[in-house]
């Protein structure tokens, strides 16, 4: 299983862009990279998934360099409601390894 490493916490202000980088040095060829968001007392919620290069959806972008040893989740123009824990997951089928999570705190 690929081990993932994320920063423990990050602080930001409303309207700013937040970038969270996850390191996964021993990622396997068939592994995908997925990011989840979790609020207190709730289960994680899917944000975005990618294999290589860049993926964008309505809430975030995911940047994956050519060597795939890291990935960066980008949250544009965050609001107070984006305060949550963000998890990086590297997985192929049912071989799953969640990171410890990054607590993002957005301040007014």
Applying CB under 8 A, the residues found at the interface with another protein are 30-32, 34, 36, 41-46, 49, 87, 89, 91-96, 98-101
Q: Which residue, 18 or 27, is less far from another protein as judged by CB?
A: 27
Q: C-beta of 25: minimal distance to another protein in Å?
A: 17
Query: Least distance to another protein from the beta carbon of 62, Å?
Result: 13
Q: How many angstroms separate the CA atoms of 80 and 27, rounded?
A: 33
Q: Which is nearer to another protein, 36 or 75 (CB)?
A: 36
Q: Which is nearer to another protein, 60 or 91 (CB)?
A: 91
2: exposed, middle or buried (C-beta count within 10 Å: 0-12, 13-18, 19+)?
buried
Adjacent-strand bridge partners of 57 = none
Cβ closest to another protein, residue 88 vs residue 106: 88
CA-to-CA distance for 13 and 80, rounded, in angstroms?
8
CB of 42 to another protein, least distance (A): 6
| Angle, alpha carbons 33-97-42 (nearest 5°) | 85
């Amino acid at each position: 299983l690929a081990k993932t490493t994320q920063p423990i916490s990050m602080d930001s202000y409303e309207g700013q862009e937040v970038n969270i980088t996850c390191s996964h040095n021993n990622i396997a060829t068939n592994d995908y990279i997925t990011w989840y968001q979790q609020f207190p007392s709730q289960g994680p919620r899917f944000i975005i998934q990618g294999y290589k290069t860049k993926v964008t959806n309505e809430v975030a972008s995911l940047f994956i360099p050519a060597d795939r040893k890291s990935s960066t989740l980008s949250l544009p123009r965050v609001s107070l409601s984006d305060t949550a824990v963000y998890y990086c997951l590297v997985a192929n089928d049912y071989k799953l390894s969640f990171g410890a999570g990054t607590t993002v705190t957005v301040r007014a």
